Structure 1
Amino acid sequence: MIKIKRFIQVKGGADSGKTTTITRYFLSILPKAKLKSLKYLGKGDFVAVVEYKGNILAFVSRGDIKKESENSYKTLCGLCQSEIEICVVATRGREDAGSVEFWQEILAQNGKQKFDKEIKNKWFNICLDEAGDNQDNSVKREIAKHLEEQSEQIAEAVEQIIQEK
């Protein structure tokens, strides 16, 4: 077990953009951060540890089900031996997948009752338009805007936590 001081939860259903949201923020700070470790988990998911403005930040983008969350946390523990100031994690929006329950156990181990910040991704159906045969570009633009706003919420939460120290 590693000590984690603060948690930011990115939650949503399957394929709602949790990994994309976390990845966008991760990539936005990478030029200003020192990459400590990175492990690619497949299908776009990763676990990473960076030093940013003198703080250790961790990213866990895989978290749809409990088993994935457990394995991702084990990977994080293997990558980082120091105290983590902020951990950004992906979870399902519903309790039944087990990822929220798993992270609540980790929160409790770190003396916390709830996530410090919750960012909720919404699900979009872009596969078919009303006619049932074409993808709607306006919905795609809405999705891109939503994911960018979500990653900006992570950035705001991280900056606020760092300033509160």
Structure 2
Amino acid sequence: MAELQSLEDLGGAIESAAPEAPVHVQKLDAHGRAYATGKRKDAVARVWVKPGTGKITINSKDFTAYFARPVLQMILRQPIMLTDRDGQYDIVATVAGGGLSGQAGAVRHGISKALTHYEPELRAILKKEGFLTRDSRVVERKKFGRAKARRSFQFSKR
């Protein structure tokens, strides 16, 4: 430890001891793919991203066959369109649990995370739009003495 002679030395010592901002690095598996897990409601999606022609496969089906509604297809493609990476990556996802809407949200979350693992510089764009944040809203549990989570049984005077 060096001796401090003046306040200027103290300022230099503090700057050198300050931790640097975290640097995000590319995270790839042995096959050159980026992997991420996306979640929404009760759905969990495992997503792999690798360079390719833009083919999106979900549970061994084309994404247009798996998600027939155009709104769900749009939700799925949002991170790709936002980052101008349409047609550059092949995406393979397996999704389980929940309904179709939750599954589409889970795959979107997984694609966003996997893109940041492949290209860390995309993190700022996706984070600003909120695609890296896990939507933690889930269905409230049913309580005893109630018809549903909050609804009471119908009152009967007689």
Structure that is richer in strand per residue: 1
Q: TM-score per shorter chain, which class?
A: under 0.3
In the superposition, the TM-score normalised over structure 2's length comes to 0.24
